[in-house]
Amino acid sequence: MSTAKTITVVGLGYIGLPLATLLADAGFRVHGVDINPARVAAVNAGAWPLDPDEYRLPELLLAVVSRGALTASTVYEAANIAIVCVPTPADERGAPDLEPLRSALDAINPPPELLIVESTLPPGTMRHEVEPRFPGTLLAHCPERVMPGWLYHNLRTVPRVIGGVTREAEDMAKRLYCCITNDDVELHRTDAATAEVVKCAENAYRYVQIAFANELALICESAGVDAWRVRDLVNTAPNHDVLRPGPGAGGPCLSKDTRFLLRARYDGPGIADSCLSGAISVNTWMPWHVAGLVNEALREAGAPTKPIVAILGTAYKADTSDQRNSPVGELVKVLHLTGVEECVFHDPNVPQLAGPLIHRLSGADAAVILAGHREYLGLDWDHLGAVMRHRVLVDARGVVWPPPEGFVFRGVGRGRI
């Protein structure tokens, strides 16, 4: 595709900003749009506003801005191609909130030759929200497949789904993505409606896999066996790969996209009998289950009626600082409901919660490992236990085994033999 074409990327978050940066680096004249003036100012200053450890992107942003290949503002700038990368959140019932998308689409004027939506979409959104707004524009849905920490690598190397409303749109979108992906990367062509379902399905599939691991852990606890040993042995079977049980499936996308997919189903058994509904039930139960393990262990240890619980790891997954939809919120709510006086927090990746772990454990009646951060592997619990008021340890991530001497221990999946 000729890099003489101009591109406007709407939404400069962890989806849109790396994309805008790579397109500018590929030779296109790119304009970024964001509702956040501070984000716009950072981009125009060539100051990478996301995780500073992202590979190559901070220096690449500075380079493309310095040579005028990328600019940013809070208002849409006419272009040959527009790419929408705004959030498509869901409310607490899982109902999609399409207002950010609608606002972004309504601001795209004059219409471009090609409009691509990278945001994850509830099935049917291209047909009902995008097509009516852009009757004369080539339209495509090319769902993002990037993860914080791997943005440059993902954009260059991860296969993409190119979902065109028309074949012509598919062709043009594919030619565009060829400019930023490595030559050997597959760009899979399909229609836009299929692409919508694919994105929701790939995240729902992982969400159900996580739910299976969690339900297996609950079963193993009841059966008095070790779910982690069961998992290891199941995974010795060809084509088996049971994931890791934990305190629930946090993060910005899996649960939301599972609900988007479930809402698209109009036939079949009752929604409550859906495997997707079951996965939602199991995964959202897990913080409650962890709270139950904490209270059971506190009782066994003879802790006071208003105990203090130290929670290790507030991020939604290991070795990140991202707290979006982390299980910590639900866990703290349930602990307070069930009589825990105070929760204190430690997270090595969150500056205000980092620092020596022993300080946060001082005087605590229990410690709960909620994120499997590498800093929590191989800890000296004999040393740490010396400052705790009661030696209770609950491991929600399977990172401590065997149980440390002298502790009342519980673990997700650790059936008590």
Which residues are catalytically annotated? 199, 253
Residue of 48, 316, 376, 407 that binds ligand SAJ (CB under 6 A)? 316
Nearer to ligand SAJ, 210 or 353 (CB): 210
Distances (CA, A) of 367 to 292, 377, 391: 14, 14, 8
Nearer to ligand SAJ, 211 or 308 (CB): 211
Nearest distance, CB of residue 258 and ligand SAJ, angstroms: 11
Q: Given the rule CB under 6 A, which of 49-57, 143-151, 170-178, 272-280 is the region that contacts ligand SAJ?
A: 143-151
Nearer to ligand SAJ, 364 or 371 (CB): 371
Using CB under 6 A, which residues numbered 364 to 393 contact ligand SAJ? none
Nearest distance, CB of residue 211 and ligand SAJ, angstroms: 9
Distances (CA, A) of 40 to 18, 75, 388: 14, 10, 47
Nearer to ligand SAJ, 108 or 218 (CB): 218
Distances (CA, A) of 333 to 145, 216, 264, 310: 32, 25, 31, 14
Quick check: 10 and 86 in contact, CB under 8 A?
yes
φ and ψ of 83, to 5 deg: -125, 120
Nearest distance, CB of residue 355 and ligand SAJ, angstroms: 23
Distance CA 120, CA 139 (A): 15
Nearer to ligand SAJ, 147 or 358 (CB): 147
Nearest distance, CB of residue 286 and ligand SAJ, angstroms: 8
Pairing of strands 160-164, 138-141: antiparallel
Supply 140's token pair: 């495509």
Supply 407's token pair: 């502790």
340 φ/ψ sector (left φ>0, alpha ψ -120 to 50, else beta): beta
Using CB under 6 A, which residues numbered 84 to 113 contact ligand SAJ? none
Residue of 145, 153, 175, 336 that binds ligand SAJ (CB under 6 A)? 145
Nearer to ligand SAJ, 243 or 301 (CB): 243
Using CB under 6 A, which residues numbered 180 to 219 contact ligand SAJ? 202-203, 206, 210, 213
DSSP state of 353: G
Nearer to ligand SAJ, 137 or 255 (CB): 255
Supply 415's token pair: 């059936």
Nearest distance, CB of residue 130 and ligand SAJ, angstroms: 21
**Number of shown-chain residues binding ligand SAJ (CB under 6 A):** 18
Using CB under 6 A, which residues numbered 258 to 277 contact ligand SAJ? none
Nearest distance, CB of residue 67 and ligand SAJ, angstroms: 30
Binding mask 240-259 for ligand SAJ (x = CB under 6 A): ---xx-x--xxx-xx-----
Nearer to ligand SAJ, 42 or 227 (CB): 227
Buried-state track 6-45, b at ≥16 Cβ within 10 A, e below 16 = bbbbbbbbbbbbbbbbbbbbbebbbbbbbbeeebbebbee
Helix 327-337 with 275-301: angle, nearest 10 deg: 50
Residue of 317, 329, 354, 389 that binds ligand SAJ (CB under 6 A)? 317
Nearest distance, CB of residue 311 and ligand SAJ, angstroms: 15
Pairing of strands 160-164, 29-33: unpaired
SS3 90: strand
Nearest distance, CB of residue 193 and ligand SAJ, angstroms: 19
Give the closest residue to 374 by CA, choosing from 393, 358, 344, 397. 397
Burial of 46 (0-12, 13-18, 19+ CB in 10 A): middle
SS3 39: helix
Using CB under 6 A as the criterion, which residues of the chain lie in contact with ligand SAJ when the complex forms? 145-147, 202-203, 206, 210, 213, 243-244, 246, 249-251, 253-254, 316-317
